[in-house]
Structure 1
Amino acid sequence: MGIVVVEICDSNLLLSIPNIEHLIESEYPEVAVLINDCLNFCGLCRLKPYAMVNNKRIHGKTPEETLAKIRQAIEEELAVYE
Protein backbone atom coordinates (compact mmCIF):
# COMPACT_ATOMS: atom_id res chain seq x y z
CA MET A 1 0.00 0.00 0.00
CA GLY A 2 1.29 3.44 -0.89
CA ILE A 3 1.72 6.45 1.37
CA VAL A 4 -0.70 8.33 -0.90
CA VAL A 5 -4.05 6.75 -1.70
CA VAL A 6 -6.07 7.81 -4.75
CA GLU A 7 -9.65 6.54 -4.77
CA ILE A 8 -11.81 6.60 -7.89
CA CYS A 9 -15.47 5.60 -8.19
CA ASP A 10 -16.02 3.01 -10.91
CA SER A 11 -18.85 5.11 -12.41
CA ASN A 12 -16.61 8.16 -12.68
CA LEU A 13 -15.86 10.01 -15.91
CA LEU A 14 -12.20 9.86 -14.90
CA LEU A 15 -12.13 6.23 -15.97
CA SER A 16 -12.44 7.37 -19.59
CA ILE A 17 -8.64 7.72 -19.42
CA PRO A 18 -7.39 4.22 -20.33
CA ASN A 19 -5.58 2.40 -17.51
CA ILE A 20 -5.53 5.48 -15.29
CA GLU A 21 -4.67 3.43 -12.22
CA HIS A 22 -1.57 1.96 -13.90
CA LEU A 23 -0.64 5.37 -15.33
CA ILE A 24 -0.63 7.02 -11.90
CA GLU A 25 1.03 4.10 -10.11
CA SER A 26 3.80 3.88 -12.73
CA GLU A 27 4.54 7.61 -12.37
CA TYR A 28 4.38 7.52 -8.58
CA PRO A 29 5.46 4.21 -6.97
CA GLU A 30 4.46 5.62 -3.55
CA VAL A 31 0.82 5.84 -4.67
CA ALA A 32 -1.89 3.20 -4.46
CA VAL A 33 -4.91 3.70 -6.73
CA LEU A 34 -8.15 2.06 -5.64
CA ILE A 35 -11.18 1.75 -7.90
CA ASN A 36 -14.26 1.52 -5.65
CA ASP A 37 -17.88 0.67 -6.37
CA CYS A 38 -19.00 3.90 -4.73
CA LEU A 39 -17.39 6.75 -2.80
CA ASN A 40 -20.74 7.95 -1.38
CA PHE A 41 -20.85 11.30 -3.15
CA CYS A 42 -24.17 10.41 -4.73
CA GLY A 43 -24.34 11.49 -8.35
CA LEU A 44 -21.11 13.50 -8.34
CA CYS A 45 -19.29 10.82 -10.33
CA ARG A 46 -21.73 11.27 -13.21
CA LEU A 47 -21.54 15.07 -13.18
CA LYS A 48 -17.80 15.66 -13.26
CA PRO A 49 -14.60 13.68 -12.98
CA TYR A 50 -13.18 13.52 -9.49
CA ALA A 51 -11.02 11.43 -7.20
CA MET A 52 -10.12 11.35 -3.54
CA VAL A 53 -6.41 11.89 -2.80
CA ASN A 54 -5.74 11.02 0.84
CA ASN A 55 -9.41 11.80 1.58
CA LYS A 56 -9.34 15.19 -0.20
CA ARG A 57 -11.76 15.59 -3.10
CA ILE A 58 -10.03 16.62 -6.34
CA HIS A 59 -12.12 17.51 -9.39
CA GLY A 60 -11.97 19.33 -12.71
CA LYS A 61 -14.05 20.05 -15.77
CA THR A 62 -12.48 17.29 -17.90
CA PRO A 63 -10.78 13.98 -17.09
CA GLU A 64 -7.46 15.40 -18.32
CA GLU A 65 -7.76 18.51 -16.13
CA THR A 66 -8.66 16.32 -13.17
CA LEU A 67 -5.66 14.06 -13.78
CA ALA A 68 -3.39 17.12 -13.78
CA LYS A 69 -4.91 18.22 -10.45
CA ILE A 70 -4.49 14.70 -9.06
CA ARG A 71 -0.80 14.79 -9.99
CA GLN A 72 -0.46 18.17 -8.27
CA ALA A 73 -2.20 16.85 -5.13
CA ILE A 74 0.07 13.79 -5.12
CA GLU A 75 3.16 16.01 -5.39
CA GLU A 76 1.92 18.10 -2.44
CA GLU A 77 1.25 14.96 -0.35
CA LEU A 78 4.66 13.48 -1.19
CA ALA A 79 6.43 16.74 -0.31
CA VAL A 80 5.49 16.11 3.33
CA TYR A 81 7.68 12.99 3.33
CA GLU A 82 10.80 14.61 1.82
Structure 2
Amino acid sequence: MGIVVVEICDASLINEVDVEQILESEYPEVSVVKYDCLSFCGLCRVRPYAMVNGTRVFGKTAEECLKAIRGQIDEELAFYMD
Protein backbone atom coordinates (compact mmCIF):
# COMPACT_ATOMS: atom_id res chain seq x y z
CA MET A 1 0.00 0.00 0.00
CA GLY A 2 1.20 3.48 -0.85
CA ILE A 3 1.68 6.49 1.39
CA VAL A 4 -0.91 8.35 -0.69
CA VAL A 5 -4.31 6.70 -1.05
CA VAL A 6 -6.68 7.75 -3.82
CA GLU A 7 -10.23 6.54 -3.26
CA ILE A 8 -12.77 6.51 -6.05
CA CYS A 9 -16.38 5.45 -6.29
CA ASP A 10 -17.28 2.85 -8.92
CA ALA A 11 -20.07 5.12 -10.18
CA SER A 12 -17.90 8.25 -10.36
CA LEU A 13 -17.52 10.10 -13.63
CA ILE A 14 -13.74 9.97 -13.03
CA ASN A 15 -13.90 6.38 -14.29
CA GLU A 16 -14.03 7.68 -17.87
CA VAL A 17 -10.24 7.35 -17.63
CA ASP A 18 -8.29 4.43 -16.12
CA VAL A 19 -7.32 6.29 -12.95
CA GLU A 20 -5.88 3.25 -11.22
CA GLN A 21 -3.52 2.27 -14.03
CA ILE A 22 -2.47 5.85 -14.79
CA LEU A 23 -1.71 6.96 -11.24
CA GLU A 24 -0.13 3.75 -9.98
CA SER A 25 2.22 3.68 -12.99
CA GLU A 26 3.19 7.37 -12.56
CA TYR A 27 3.49 7.32 -8.76
CA PRO A 28 4.84 4.20 -7.03
CA GLU A 29 3.87 5.79 -3.69
CA VAL A 30 0.16 5.83 -4.63
CA SER A 31 -2.51 3.20 -4.12
CA VAL A 32 -5.83 3.62 -5.87
CA VAL A 33 -8.76 1.98 -4.10
CA LYS A 34 -12.18 1.60 -5.73
CA TYR A 35 -15.30 1.37 -3.60
CA ASP A 36 -18.92 0.66 -4.48
CA CYS A 37 -19.79 3.91 -2.72
CA LEU A 38 -17.92 6.63 -0.81
CA SER A 39 -21.16 7.85 0.85
CA PHE A 40 -21.28 11.32 -0.70
CA CYS A 41 -24.77 10.58 -2.00
CA GLY A 42 -25.05 11.33 -5.69
CA LEU A 43 -21.89 13.45 -5.95
CA CYS A 44 -20.24 10.83 -8.14
CA ARG A 45 -22.93 11.29 -10.81
CA VAL A 46 -22.74 15.10 -10.78
CA ARG A 47 -19.04 15.61 -11.52
CA PRO A 48 -15.80 13.65 -11.39
CA TYR A 49 -14.20 13.48 -7.98
CA ALA A 50 -11.89 11.39 -5.84
CA MET A 51 -10.54 11.38 -2.31
CA VAL A 52 -6.78 11.85 -1.91
CA ASN A 53 -5.69 11.01 1.65
CA GLY A 54 -9.13 12.11 2.83
CA THR A 55 -9.32 15.34 0.80
CA ARG A 56 -12.02 15.63 -1.87
CA VAL A 57 -10.66 16.60 -5.29
CA PHE A 58 -12.99 17.72 -8.11
CA GLY A 59 -12.91 18.56 -11.80
CA LYS A 60 -15.41 19.52 -14.49
CA THR A 61 -14.16 16.65 -16.67
CA ALA A 62 -12.40 13.38 -15.89
CA GLU A 63 -9.15 14.77 -17.35
CA GLU A 64 -9.41 17.96 -15.29
CA CYS A 65 -10.08 15.92 -12.17
CA LEU A 66 -7.09 13.68 -12.92
CA LYS A 67 -4.92 16.80 -13.18
CA ALA A 68 -6.26 18.02 -9.82
CA ILE A 69 -5.60 14.58 -8.29
CA ARG A 70 -2.00 14.72 -9.51
CA GLY A 71 -1.63 18.17 -7.92
CA GLN A 72 -2.96 16.89 -4.59
CA ILE A 73 -0.69 13.83 -4.78
CA ASP A 74 2.32 16.09 -5.38
CA GLU A 75 1.29 18.18 -2.37
CA GLU A 76 0.92 15.08 -0.19
CA LEU A 77 4.26 13.66 -1.32
CA ALA A 78 6.01 17.00 -0.66
CA PHE A 79 4.78 16.74 2.96
CA TYR A 80 6.27 13.25 3.35
CA MET A 81 9.52 14.13 1.60
CA ASP A 82 10.33 17.14 3.81
TM-score (norm 2): 0.97
Q: List alignment gaps of at least 5 residues for structure 1.
A: none
- Could you tell me which residue of structure 1 aligns to residue 60 of structure 2? 61
> Aligned residue for 1:76?
75
Moved over 6 A (4+): none
Question: 5+ residue gaps in structure 2?
Answer: none
The percent identity for this pair of structures is 62
Measure the CA separation in 2 of the matches of 1:35 and 1:22: 12
Q: CA deviation at 1:81?
A: 1.5
Structure 2 counterpart of 1:6: 6
Query: Which secondary structure does the structure 2 equivalent of 1:80 belong to?
Result: helix
Give me the TM-score of the superposition, normalised by structure 1.
0.97
- Hey, what does 1:40 align to over in structure 2? 39
Q: Give secondary structure in 1 for the equivalent of 2:11.
A: coil
Q: How far apart in 2 are the matches of 1:33 and 1:44?
A: 19
Q: CA RMSD in A?
A: 0.5
